Amino acid sequence: EKCFCVKCQKQQGLRTQDEFNKIEKPDYSVLLNWNFWFNEKQV
């Protein structure tokens, strides 16, 4: 059985900074804006 834990993947070279940078990451900065949380349209 193949282990898929983070420690084993890092030892196999699958968890590198280059691999992480290839992943498309969503922009969560909108969550830091208070208007997002207190928008009157959502109430």
Give per-residue pLDDT as tens, 8-37.
Answer: 999 998 899 999 999 999 999 989 998 888
CA angle (36 as vertex; 24, 26 as ends), nearest 5: 0
pLDDT at 42: 56
Q: Report whether pLDDT(43) > 60.
A: no
Name the token pair of 20: 């992480």
pLDDT at 1: 72
Under 8 Å CB-to-CB from 36, ≥6 apart: which residues?
30
The size of the chain, in residues, is 43
Name the token pair of 27: 């922009």
Domain layout of the chain by residue ranges:
6-42
Q: Are 15 and 9 in contact (CB under 8 A)?
A: yes
